[in-house]
Structure 1
Amino acid sequence: MTARAHRFRHSIELPSPYDTDRLMGFLASRAIPGVEAVARDGGWRYARSLRLPGGAGSLLIRTEGRRALVTGLLSERADRTAAVQAATAVLNLRPAPAEVDAAFARHPDTRPLVARRPGLRVPGAADAAELAVRAIVGQQISIARASAACGALAAEHGEPLPRELAVDPGLTHLFPSARTLRAANPTRLRMPRARGAAIVGVADALAEGRIDLGADPVAVRRQLVALRGIGPWTAGYISMRVGQDADVLLEGDLIVRRSAAELGMPDTPRELSAYAEQFAPYRSYLTVHLWAAYTSGYSPGM
């Protein structure tokens, strides 16, 4: 380790209940090669590179029972607070899982879902701009193809992560910044031209400060859908994961609708949206419960 790499350790107490497996499994399936690395060896290990105020860095979150142990390597010691905030954002500890579960347990339609997956979380995001780009890249393609495309974007337009700043050998690059992507030629990005243009457009808005993804979620979604190439699903997904907005229903999502139908809920976007009003202010958690129920093959009575 060179003199400019500063190591830190931090411990985060996880609330109870807390569905670590589902959250980490979600992140593992969407890990960007070179930027993120997720593994399970008893507990879970989530590692990622970080773009911090003082320079490059990386962090590793290891789960051990009811604790998450965070290790980081930083260019500047002063970036410890920002790195811990990034780790906490990924884990998404608010609102309290017990509070959300209690709200869903009061409804007969969702009580079995909570019983099956107590403490289910909406996975957060360490890098807001990266997640926004990832959401756009993933439009109308598989999760695996989106991860590969984002990895190629990082390798071509990102910056190499110095080896001494990597907490995991799988971390090789920083994801390209909004300022870098705003200057990219959308016709030369390895994706459909319209999608590339949407990425350049959102990167320009973020770099110029016209959109702050940490601001009021309703306002942010309105600003995002005003950009070319970003629809309500993408804006809602970004709001859920970056803004940690607990009250977003992705009623147009195909899996959400299929899962709702299997569970005896309305499955058209308009009817499902009206039905879900009873679950405010936790409609994001209805979304992730419906995702989880569909992928696990769960249906009432099983």
Structure 2
Amino acid sequence: MELDFERCYRAVDSRDQRFDGWFYTGVTSTGIYCRPSCPASTPKRQNVRFFPSSAAAQRAGLRACRRCRPDASPGSPQWDVRADVVGRAMRLIADGVVDRDGVPGLAARLGYTERHLHRMLRAELGAGPLALARAQRAQTARTLIETTELGLAEVAFAAGFGSVRQFNDTVREVYGASPSQLRTARRAAVGGAGTVTLRLAYRPPLHAAALLDFFARRTLPGVDEVRDGTYRRGLRLPHGTGEAALTPAAGYVAATLRLTDLRDLAPAVARCRRLFDLDADPVAVDQTLGADPALAPAVAAEPGVRVPRAADGFEMAVRAIATQQVSLTSARTTLTHLLASIPPPSPVDHEVSEGFGDQTSRQLHDQRGEDGGGGLRGFVGAEEVLRVADAGFRMPVGRRETIRAVARAVADGRLDLDPGGDREETARQLTAIPGIGPWTAGYLAMRALGDPDVFLATDLAVRRGADALGLPDNPKTLDAYASRWRPWRSYAVIRLWRAA
């Protein structure tokens, strides 16, 4: 990725927070790298290098600044919205695919050879998949060191390191301090065994009320809830289950995560960031939408409206299909009955993972029982839905069979509804399933896959919102009008829903 020196240097000189996560500033005279908004004195031009990723800065021998903590900056909005291989790879790495399946597993998910994938990532990000995963591993380790009482050896393996020595060497190299020194100097609160409390950074503004209102209208008993300004939900994670409590605050979202297996910290954080669309660039979105006189008053009144995303692609598919041609209230009743027909899994079945942390996992289970955790569970998986009898659906036969067809495709690995999936291929596969049309495929592209440029012209609420704003409500005319909102039409959909 080409980084214009003058533009980057001006952003650093003005300490512009909008550029945090877009690039990283390396200072050769001090041997550290920072986020653009670092409050330290602006370095001299001859001592500055700019990097497209923290991993690239680390490969150049620089350590993370202890003042601005660049490893905790918002994620790059470029990789968040791009649908190409590099964007998909970044989302999969953030979800921990390299830690679980290695580079071969990542390459297989993307459909490229390891060599070609490495070449593409090096060209765009200045670092290969192992270096990118290593940078994330180091950040996960730091979070665990500062927010839990786990022993450092347990932290090492929970963060994904292959050995304690590798863990110690990486932490010293990235942060310029040993793990024990980081723990001594920690500033975050400790929430108890199995509980991690951290701050999820975002680029302001963030219209938190719009997010909480959206989720509140769609909560399902036992899965998620909105209460006292906090969104809580259960999570299905690669190594077990978890719960997340997300509370928007000024400049960050406070996240409390309860995990049955701490190896799931990075995937849990990635899902939480997706849910609240925290890697978006709201200034760029609002500038485009606000240029339209019809939307300008709404943008000025409510800056920073995000697209509420999904923690689980299959969950979003079931929700979307159940909502076809019925109200949200009816869909919630149907989905509540479906979930009630599936018994919850035994926590211990998920907590004890082969070859890692049996004792620690049981301790986490004991702690969750003591502190009242475990009240929410993640949405059911595809295999569980396939075992539900006809009576468990309480919906028209066609809709029931559509859900089953999606479940079979996901369970067989033929359909990828995660953010790392190929958007065009996923849309093609979805629309080939009887009962799924352009609206459902578009809705999933927007909320599950994170496509920023989806417009649902036939959606009744979108048309009502358009009418409320004095826009044409005929789907064909409205779709043509919406072209002026590219590439942020998904955000326009949310604003039209709010107008309705």
Whether these two folds match at TM > 0.5 is yes
Specify which of 374, 388, 398 is matched with residue 194 of structure 1.
Answer: 398
Question: Given the alignment of the two structures, is residue 15 of structure 1 paired with residue 203 of structure 2, yes or no?
Answer: yes
Task: Name the counterpart of 1:84.
Answer: 269
Is the radius of gyration larger for structure 1 or structure 2?
2
Specify which of 238, 259, 274 is matched with residue 74 of structure 1.
Answer: 259
Q: Does the CA contact (< 8 Å) of 2:235 and 2:378 recur in 1?
A: yes
Question: Given the alignment of the two structures, is residue 155 of structure 1 paired with residue 361 of structure 2, yes or no?
Answer: no
Provide structure 2 residue ranges, at least 5 long, that are not aligned to the other structure: 1-149, 151-192, 348-364
Deviations 1:10-34 (A, max 9, x none): 2112321111000111001101111
Distance 1:171 1:161, change over 3 A: farther
After superposition, the CA RMSD in angstroms is: 2.3
Task: Name the counterpart of 2:453.
Answer: 247
More helix by share: 2
More strand by share: 1
Q: In structure 2, the residue corresponding to 1:125 is in which secondary structure?
A: coil
Q: In structure 1, the residue corresponding to 2:220 is in which secondary structure?
A: coil
Task: Name the counterpart of 1:300.
Answer: none
Specify which of 322, 327, 333 is matched with residue 142 of structure 1.
Answer: 327
Deviation larger for 79-88 or 63-72: 63-72
Provide structure 1 residue ranges, at least 5 long, that are not aligned to the other structure: 295-302
Question: Given the alignment of the two structures, is residue 263 of structure 1 paired with residue 469 of structure 2, yes or no?
Answer: yes
Q: Does the CA contact (< 8 Å) of 1:160 and 1:172 recur in 2?
A: no
Equivalent positions of 1:44-83 (< 5 A) are 44-83=229-268
Specify which of 478, 483, 490 is matched with residue 284 of structure 1.
Answer: 490
Q: In structure 2, the residue corresponding to 1:206 is in which secondary structure?
A: helix
Percent identity over the alignment is 39
Deviations 1:30-60 (A, max 9, x none): 01111112112xxx21111111111122111
**TM-score normalised according to structure 1 size:** 0.88
Q: Distance in 2 between matches of 1:161 and 1:145?
A: 30
Deviation at 1:235, TM superposition (A): 1.2
Task: Name the counterpart of 1:299.
Answer: none
Q: In structure 1, the residue corresponding to 2:280 is in which secondary structure?
A: coil
Q: Does the CA contact (< 8 Å) of 2:211 and 2:308 recur in 1?
A: yes
Specify which of 440, 443, 447 is matched with residue 234 of structure 1.
Answer: 440
Task: Name the counterpart of 1:29.
Answer: 217
Q: Does the CA contact (< 8 Å) of 1:131 and 1:238 recur in 2?
A: yes
**TM-score normalised according to structure 2 size:** 0.55
Q: Does the CA contact (< 8 Å) of 2:197 and 2:257 recur in 1?
A: yes
Q: Does the CA contact (< 8 Å) of 2:453 and 2:487 recur in 1?
A: yes
Question: Given the alignment of the two structures, is residue 182 of structure 1 paired with residue 386 of structure 2, yes or no?
Answer: yes
Deviation at 1:161, TM superposition (A): 6.9
Deviations 1:87-115 (A, max 9, x none): 11101124311110011122222211211
Distance 1:289 1:98, change over 3 A: same
Question: Higher relative contact order by CA 8 Å / sep ≥ 6: 1 or 2?
Answer: 1
Question: Given the alignment of the two structures, is residue 216 of structure 1 paired with residue 422 of structure 2, yes or no?
Answer: yes
Deviation at 1:222, TM superposition (A): 2.3
Equivalent pairs counted in the alignment come to 289
Q: Does the CA contact (< 8 Å) of 1:48 and 1:60 recur in 2?
A: yes
Deviation at 1:217, TM superposition (A): 2.3
